[in-house]
Amino acid sequence: MRNEAIWEPFTPYKSAGFVQRLLKKLYEAKGLDEPLTKSYQNGSTFSYYIEHGQKFFSKRSVPRTRSNRFYYFTERPSF
């Protein structure tokens, strides 16, 4: 499965308006005080975390090779 396909279900969460409406509904269901204000305050942050999580994992999808730093913390290679 390609990396883009994995993140496709998260596309709506990149929209601040969508996230604010979703959070408002969730906050109302939980009975929290001031759901509209809290959803506005937290909507952009939530979208930010989704977007940067995608960037983080897309960088990690490239196979990594061993570096000298890795050997420093485990065992030294014998050449």
The confidence score (pLDDT) of residue 28 equals: 96
pLDDT at 66 over 80: no
Give the integer Cα–Cα distance in Å for 76 and 33: 57
Q: Where are the domains of the chain?
A: 16-51
What backbone torsions phi and psi does residue 75 show, to the nearest 5 degrees? Answer: -135, 150
Q: Do 63 and 8 touch, CB atoms closer than 8 A?
A: no
pTM over 0.95: no
**19 vs 61, which has greater pLDDT?**
19
The confidence score (pLDDT) of residue 79 equals: 46
| Mean pLDDT over each residue of the chain, to the nearest integer | 79
Mean pLDDT of 33-44: 94
Mean pLDDT of 67-72: 52
Give the integer Cα–Cα distance in Å for 32 and 17: 20
Q: Do 19 and 46 touch, CB atoms closer than 8 A?
A: yes
